[in-house]
Structure 1
């Protein structure tokens, strides 16, 4: 393909460029003289050349103006921004004061004319020869690219291009060793088409491509021809199953008669045998082909599919059929119908906010700095061809930074290129991967016309890195299904004759008869299956089945836990278990060894502070619980130790909660007396003892800011909320006991209607309703078993002040509630009837689900006596009920009405928006008062008695007016004035549209992120406390031990004793300290020593010494350990002089006129140092040097510095110290020793304390 270009290049190289190539090689040799490991700043900016055509360029074939996708005007602002971004990220350490890269614009003409190729070669020679070119961007035409590449490669200049589609460029070792292709490659498009064809069984596509390609295209004849040739070559080499039929299209020049030409091409080359047509042409040509296909019926029959390769992703990508200058408006509608049969392959655009911001920056830069619209006559439009140049600059900057860091020559293209290939970096579109051959892995989108949105949307995408075609949404086919590889009837129906033989009708009739027989068989078989399922009662759960092996294992595990932790009561083990899952026990980062012990100590202290002691009454109740099978909900949360059915800890499950409050205390006592006989019968009928474990809500104590809601009254009464859970077939389930009197119903009758309801409830599945697991109908254990949601109910979440819910989270939960209710209203259930916030539970994924619906016939058997459950709880349950149902409950069905559910939804909505509790009012009415006021019919001018909207909540966190209007509409007095859930769903969906359009994983992640953010504050607070305590401990350890030794202990390493050959030790004490102490009070002595040693410590900090210890009035300092150095004697001597000067000015508080007499001794020698002891560890020194130093101090004189002979010899090596011979001194255990007095150092003398101390 490039043979003419290659021969011409050879002539140019021989005739014109030999001397420039030679000089370039010489320059390259000079570049290699740089020391390979020297780090240096850039001596000058990197010089880059931009080889692209200008925007206005006259065609050599016709007088048409070609506007290229990638031209100097469109790429220049991108490179400008990329150079600035790269400097801030990677080049700031090496760049000069001026920009790190200078850009030279080299206009390259079109590639049809071989003379222009020669001109491009001359341009490359000129820029390479004289200016020291470092990197090149472009060209975008393969002919020009090959020419420029050959010349620039001799000068070791790396190249970036968004073109290079020819197979010739794949052989990088021989043809393009310094070229990096950052644009789309036809290989990936061919692989995508092959995978798409394999998925739908297509093997014989027709390839239509345009030789002079696109009025607004980049590569003219190169791209389409090469892409189509690639498909054909892969087929010829048996690399794919496709048998393509390539055909060249005539150029579109705006002539109206071209459509007939395209139609004839479709008839001749596609006809009735091939159904898949792959197009590679300009947008106008594609539109004319699709209109021609529409006229022939190919685009509307559903038997043909057109696949358009559009490598750009401009504004025409979503609605490419529209032409703004179309005078015939029906033509656009006709084109839209034709485009339903078209699929488009395009470069995948990034949806990241960063890319959108980048696009805005580029447009702004193009207009303000380069006046783009004035030059080109149109607005700036971004596409992946030109954005690839941004990634190219970043990649070059990364490689340049690494090259400079390693001390290599940055002007050698081989050094740069080797660091750009086989790597992944973060570009403007996300992660960008370059393979080992220097080619970019490109991703492509398959676009499809969505009829509902009336625009092209992504239905699948191809990942170049993984070579995989992934579907993201449903395809839209004209015929409802993918076309076959060959049309069934053809565009002219020539393959489907008008009349059929008689046997065809006979076969058709037989098929219909057989179909009827099959339908009848299926009907009766399904009826038989239904009756069999009703008789099998798969929903039925035996009471003994809740006592599975899992519960026994769990009980053994709990017992082991109690033994290990040493708890006296099982409740303590439960408390410990709950503390593990609390906020305070979240994972903390800590270092090994001592810091882990500190973390464990803090955790233990926290658990001790949060543990509650049991009262004697509770212990007594606990013993009573252990001796009886029945467990009352109002008892203490201690758990009985008897064996039997084991219920695990669980959170609040709606409808199965018991509220204890002083309001219902008397009624509870009365009810216990009434139940005594039933409990005796319960014990006789139960074969196995039962251990029920009631679990408190995992969100902790409930609280609310306002004091005017029913919840506040409930909280002030110290109410506790429980639920029961059990393990059934290895899964934790919620158990809701039915309050059915076993005497009245010793055996439940199960009519067919009730059996049908059980089956329907078992089959009822939705993401936002709880699953019905089964029911126990064995007397007296009547209960319902449902899905367990560990996060508790919506009421509990709203009442917990520690859980912060932003608008997104509230709308998400609200949307879940609406979707669940919409499903119930659309199902056989019809309506809920008992909708309230406590009947909305939240699972572990923070998804809200509606519960406690259905089974109204069973609930009708329950005894609901106001004397039994208390007035407060009885009327509180009615606060969500619609007023018309409160006035006349018997006039409505047991499952309520849809309008009544809308009213209940309004009350819940008020709870969620303002978090003031149910039916908030400023006057704080009781539930009975609210019940009476709502039940009473309002007068003509009387205001409805409904929850109040707090003004403070509206001002602090404004609520959407749509929600306020929706809430007030739902609690309207007349049922027909309330909107149903289809209307509610639309309103809530509009508020939650961001979550509605996202996929399930994104929505789940948002919810979990919000839940994590709620805990983040507490975790951060606890973490800061932990780190503060840890820092205190480490600081204290650094004060007690040398820093190097303390660091070893903190890191968990053992400190080994270490020998030091030469150190200098300082000893001092206070002469007459005993007499001074006898004349002072203990507090005065302590104050004296504290003042003195504080002053000494301030002096010691100025020298390279380590304070070993202070014992009484003795002060010991050493130099030369644990950090070894040769100045230890000098440092100790200078410190001793400084301490004498400090003593000179030291004033004893209680005896200001008395001079403190300090006696100092210094000696040098070898010692051994190490940490002694595990409790109160000390860093101690051992050896004869320590004893000699002490003797030097004790045999010295007040206010003098007594120096041994060994120390004197060391000090003599450093001029400046003045020492006076004292003579021989008899020392205990040492005999006679020659010692000296230290008088001063350089211009510093010992202080003058008077003639008696001279």
Structure 2
């Protein structure tokens, strides 16, 4: 290695591996049991290297050695063996006494242990051979080798293993110098005639073996002769390199300069945009108590009349009636009326807040009220919005005397959905404050959603009790939680209920509970969580799908509410693609209203509508609406076959025993309360109640309205909810008694038709009805008993069932039936969306 160092070949490109037997690598043994390191000794001075230089020259040297059959550490057993050998050398037959007195004979040779182990192995093999066969020839080497396989503890303290082929299993040590330039064993190689096992002692090869460097490549970079170095562009083309370097520096400086210039231009542009949304208080002119009149650009903009005021040809705009409220101030800004929303506290706007204001300034949608900016230098922090002449939707609902028809209300609901959809798809992502007060109406009777964004200001505003009636229950429970799109959909449903019923949220004025009690029950949630009534005027002929959509939007679980895009899609399907302008409809409606304003005609019309409503309500309670409408139109109702429907039978368990404990009036009251709960559950599903006979309850889905394969899911969900509702149902006069049901479900072909003239009934016929009845009568309390066909459709629909086994059914023989356990929650959401889309398309 000294010669290698002299040739400058001791670099990280080279590694030198010495494979030696009868060697201990970097340790050299001396007489008398002494030893020294390989780099120590007189030979190191041959090339003029010091001991330390010689030591460093061995940094790239690795040894593969057998350690002369010794363990890495000298054991007490080996020292005992050594002293025993020295002692026995002085005894017969050696008698080495005077000749062995020299200090160099004070320890045995390193190979003595290997020689002792070999002799011991031979002796054991001979002994085995003679034991097996006393007449055997101990000189027969082949015979002895048959008994040579063994394992024993050698004199060095380790195990000695001899294979059946007489080969000793060898331990080879992989040794190098560590970062402290001391010998270290990096690995062991366990070698026999069949295989070699490599057992490494290091964790990181680069750090532990190569001292932080990399393993040398198979061939040096410049070759073994040093003449194969790759071309050096900088060295060979220095002038070109300098020119390129200067050009790159210039390009980098130019790029930096251009970037700084672009940043500066962008900053100036941002400063200009910030001036657009900053409204100075001096620019806001206070409205005088006298009439403030100024020219108006168009007739549409000049319309200040209410919905019932009739047409006006005025070209003057009067704003005298607009006074300061608890939330708003009204000003004139650049010859336009604006509404200034008051905010409780002043906040220091961050760059993020300013960026939001710049983006809000450019938001533009036909159903979005334009925000003009913020007034920061006034006596109170104000957000400035465009003024809508007809006020809010809440004002129209509470004050307008004009009756709205179905198209009018539908158009307003569609406007709200479109505006909310635009907000959800914008950078704002959520409104968070949607109420009927924030739905403004311009002079063209178009909804303009206001009060969006500005969360950094509204977080400090107080929320009054009445405003909480629009907030979703999950947000009420966590007062400071982030607003969500699901919460907006809930608020949208409350606004729709206001519009459809022409009442305040939850009809709070006519409700027994106070606002605080309603809010408490909303936070509490549960099965009977309060919701606004959807008792709409029958004369409006409101689309039932619209009512179902509203109920879906205010569902208790946020995950089960449709997205606003799904709401828009369903509204579009309800309108049939009609894009008629609302103003045209309003003018037509006003003309019609004016032409029929005479008192006598109006009274007669009201009487007719009321009588028609009463008869329709009565008829719809007896027959399905579609069947009743055909009868009213004079059509003959022919029996109709439905290839697939799901029939539901239920019966109160031990009703006779329960009824015997009650008076007749109490029995009627009990059934009325029970069936009221059942009817409220049926309203949530596409299910028709055929009839009730005593405590028996018969329902069907899939007729008269065909709903594909959704009928089984509607019936199954209804049955599960009915069973669940019984856990909280209590009998008023017998609070300790509990109601339980037997439920039977079957799917199949059914014939339906109207039977009778005096008291016509919509009746079901077919073997499927009989089978459903048998499922109920052969069921068990609290369980939902389903047939084989119903089970097949339930599994396809994402429900879990359990086989009951074969049951003897009266009139049917032996049938395999099942218990309905519940709905698979993993597919419930997807199935619900598919069902809603299918249901909307059918409508």
Category of TM-score, reference length = shorter chain:
0.3 to 0.5
Q: Normalized against structure 1, the TM-score is what?
A: 0.25
Name which structure has the greater RCO, CA cutoff 8 Å, separation 6+: 1
Higher Rg = 2
